[in-house]
Amino acid sequence: EIVMTQSPATLSVSPGERATLSCRASQSVSSNLAWYQQKPGQAPRLLIYGASTRATGIPARFSGSGSGAEFTLTISSLQSEDFALYYCQQYINWPPITFGQGTRLEIK
């Protein structure tokens, strides 16, 4: 099973600044990587799939990069609604699919 490791566990950033979240896979997943945003009481929201393709309706300030085993989610200018929990997920040759443990993005 491929293990996904996200860092940092918590990231404190001021509104308007850039946030960079990292995700590492225990082996190559090529570009089969998705990012989700989750807020309390809500379902996960797909942000990025294919490592860098924004899902429908996702603002351009969200961008994904990377391939192989190292990935990054960048939020270029943080808005108040962006403070949430973020998960990465691999799906190469699924099943299984596995998620990272999450990064909590909080207001500095």
Partner 1 sequence: QVQLQESGPGLVKPSETLSLTCAVSGYSISSGYYWGWIRLPPGKGLEWIGSIFHSGITYYNASLKSRVTISVDTSKNQFSLKLSSVTAADTALYYCARLQGFGEFWGQGTLVTVSS
Binding site for partner 1 (CB under 8 A): 1, 32, 34, 36, 42-46, 49, 55, 87, 89, 91, 94-102
Return the bridge partners of 10, or none: 104
As measured in angstroms, the least distance from the Cβ of 90 to partner 1 is 9
The C-alpha atoms of residue 59 and residue 11 are separated, in whole angstroms, by 20
The C-alpha atoms of residue 102 and residue 64 are separated, in whole angstroms, by 16
Q: Which is nearer to partner 1, 94 or 108 (CB)?
A: 94
Q: Which amino acid is at 13?
A: V
Containing 18, the helix (H) or strand (E) segment is none
Q: Which is nearer to partner 1, 16 or 96 (CB)?
A: 96
As measured in angstroms, the least distance from the Cβ of 63 to partner 1 is 17
